[in-house]
Structure 1
Amino acid sequence: MVGRCRAADPPGGDPPDMSSTTDPARRSRTVVALGVFVPAVVLLAACGGSKRAAPRTTTTRPKAPTATTTQRSAVTTSSPCGRVTTPPRWQHVIVVIFENHRHGDVIDNRAAPYATELARECGTATNWSDAGSAYPSLPNYIGLTSGQDGKDVGITGDCDAGAPPDKACTTGADNIFRQARKTGVSVKSYQEDMPGNCHIGEGGGYREHHNPAVYYRGDGGGDWSDCQKNDVPMGSLSGGGNLFDDLERDTLPNIAFVEPNNCHNTHDCQVAQGDAWAAKFFPRIFASKAYRDGRTTVLWLWDEDTPIPNVIVSPATRPGTVSADAISHYSALRAIEEIFGLPLLGHANGARDMRPLFNL
């Protein structure tokens, strides 16, 4: 059972260096729309891997854009996108999640020059929904990783998970972490400012309710054991750490979830500050062997406020792709599962297929 939920972050929980730049207009809200993480296309969720659907007519093409997809202009030769025409067999998907803004707050906003330029060099969707119009952060993270609507698993607010055996606000729902574990697909969560592995509670700029792995408690304790091992502190741009070590050593997992701290993710700080951090962070990914070898896809998403900002990056994504198709967090989950041959969970089964739109 799930209970004892709290609706928002406690005041005063952020580090001093963040407080002076807090955006008072933004609070942890999560809008839940039934098509959030995985673009909707009817798909059979069998017990084995699902087959990739043929590209839709809405897919952006260099010389013949469709009515719902357009091409932006001008990319540089150093662009991380448009390097190949045929999608390879992806070995890595990196999902980086920011907080609490609408598409127009970021993309084409002068406060976010890096995100805007990266979207122009790669791709973005202008009609991306979160996991539900009434939800704050946590249910969106749950939807993104389990395919379940928050009300279906009893998590409709930003609540405290509690350490085992406490199950005050947890779920036994199947999830991408469990799927990966059972099929030999590697997965890690990298949480900036997290004090230790699979940390319950908050500290510095770390927020528990932005870390979905700590809320899964099924599979006979398997979810919790996996969290203890693979839900790790990210490290920092200046000091290195787990994520940067994995990039440098070419030991990146197949699926990587990255959550910046509560300033860098634009939750407590302004869009410009998050964009400045991103301008230093993403080039580290694009310079890694995993990306340079042409086998990595990057999904840069915000958690809520439909239509949410997003930037889709891969060597095969056609530069300047802009999709107006109705896709969602469930579409993103579907894309990840199909890339690695996993059955579709929950609302991922039936979500719009985003892979043809961005040539993934």
Structure 2
Amino acid sequence: MAIRRTPLLMAAAVLALGGCGSGSGGGGKAPAEVRTAAKPATPVTPVTLPKPDHVVVVLFENKEDKQVHGSSTAPYFNALAARGATFTNSTGVTHPSQPNYLALFSGSTQGVSGDDCLSAGKFAGPDLGGELIAAGKTFAGYSESMPSDGFTACTGKGPGGDYASKHNPWRDFSDVPAADNRTFAAFPQDFSQLPTVSFVVPNMCDDMHDCGVATGDAWLKAGLGAYADWAPAHNSLLVVTFDEDDFTEANVIPTIIVGAGVKPGPTAQHIDHYAMLRTLEDLYGLPHAGASAQAAPITGIWTTGS
């Protein structure tokens, strides 16, 4: 049964010529670019949140909420959703893909409006990876099918499929060491050895960009199912989200959080990539990058704290 979604009132729609399809398998659409409402000028006061030992954030591609939530093609995703918090009003901040990844990682689209081949280390920060490292914590990004650890080229073919740097924002920041830009093959089998925060990006098929929902759902179970089972008893979280929907103005995306201290059930709190970044920062008492300073962190889903 599909979960009801709260309608989203968008503040503006700006025409964009590009789409995620400027890479492989995008279908050549040229939709309107959609941005969230302007943020208030006053920074949001921090709230008390839990402090997990590990957070893993996995990003899929280009699916509207209703294409996944309640769909028979996503049985594992929906089984996870039943175990955690399900966001019925979660949105991307724009179209196409790359600016959304940058927004989630750094609180800014960094002036990027397409799916571009950026030079490695182009931006100085601030960003989530750099904030964690400066605070004495750890970060790593794991990209499936990236040819090698520390890979800096814009595209490549590794084990299992195609890799594209447009889905790898940590590569773009000079304050994140090359050693933290890892292949998914390097994802620890002993989950206690994971960094404080990890981002995981499947390849261009398994992330549902070039292939269907069923493919991504099967990958999620095979690739992170063991971690999802481990996390609740080990003070850890799994965040499953998407960069954007399939180019609608509403841009409503599937998002769930599963793990220790999370109340199961749907929540209508509106979140976007800036709110998710703000939440990750507040979990560890980090400073706030870019628009995350004006975003409200996720509340109401925790068994302790806010």
TM-score, length basis structure 2:
0.81
CA distance in 2, matches of 1:256, 1:201: 21
CA-to-partner distance for each residue in 1:155-198, whole Å, 9 max, x for gaps? 1111112357xxxxx33331111111211110000010001123
Match in the other structure for 1:208: 165
Which of 116, 132, 139 aligns to 1:180? It is 132
Match in the other structure for 2:84: 122
Match in the other structure for 1:107: 69
Match in the other structure for 1:161: 118
Q: AA paired with 1:125?
A: F
Match in the other structure for 1:283: 225
CA-to-partner distance for each residue in 1:242-287, whole Å, 9 max, x for gaps? 10xx242621000000001111110100111111121222322134
Q: Trace 1:168-247 onto structure 2 (pairs within 5 A).
A: 170-199=122-151, 200-204=153-157, 205-217=162-174, 223=175, 226-235=176-185, 242-243=186-187, 246-247=188-189
CA-to-partner distance for each residue in 1:50-100, whole Å, 9 max, x for gaps? x425xxxxxxxxxxxxxxxxxxxxxxxxxxxxxxxxx85311111000000
Match in the other structure for 2:13: none
Q: Residues 147 and 6 (structure 1 numbering): CA distance in 2 closer, same or farther, change over 3 Å?
A: same
In the TM superposition, what is the alpha-carbon distance from 1:8 to its structure 2 partner?
Answer: 4.7
> Structure 1: where are the runs of 5+ without partners?
14-21, 36-40, 45-50, 54-86, 165-169, 218-222, 236-241
Match in the other structure for 1:34: 36
Match in the other structure for 1:71: none
Match in the other structure for 2:279: 335
Q: Residues 203 and 332 (structure 1 numbering): CA distance in 2 closer, same or farther, change over 3 Å?
A: same
Instruction: Note the aligned Cα RMSD (angstroms).
Output: 2.9
CA distance in 2, matches of 1:335, 1:30: 28
CA distance in 2, matches of 1:30, 1:212: 23
Where do 4+ consecutive residues of structure 1 move more than 4 Å?
Answer: 5-11, 24-32
User: Counting strand residues as a fraction of each chain, which structure ranks higher?
Assistant: 2
Which of 191, 195, 204 aligns to 1:262? It is 204
CA distance in 1, matches of 2:301, 2:263: 9
CA-to-partner distance for each residue in 1:268-309, whole Å, 9 max, x for gaps? 001111111212223221344xx2543111110000022101
SS at match of 1:356: coil
Match in the other structure for 2:263: 318
CA distance in 1, matches of 2:274, 2:18: 25
CA-to-partner distance for each residue in 1:108-155, whole Å, 9 max, x for gaps? 1111111122112212111111122xx21111011001111x2xx221
SS at match of 2:163: coil
Identity of aligned residues (%): 28
Q: AA paired with 1:116?
A: N
Contact 2:18–2:30 (Cα < 8 Å) also in 1: no
**Does residue 52 in structure 1 map to residue 47 in structure 2?**
yes
CA distance in 2, matches of 1:359, 1:43: 22
TM-score, length basis structure 1:
0.69
The structure whose RCO (Cα within 8 Å, separation 6+) is larger is 1
> Structure 2: where are the runs of 5+ without partners?
1-16, 246-250
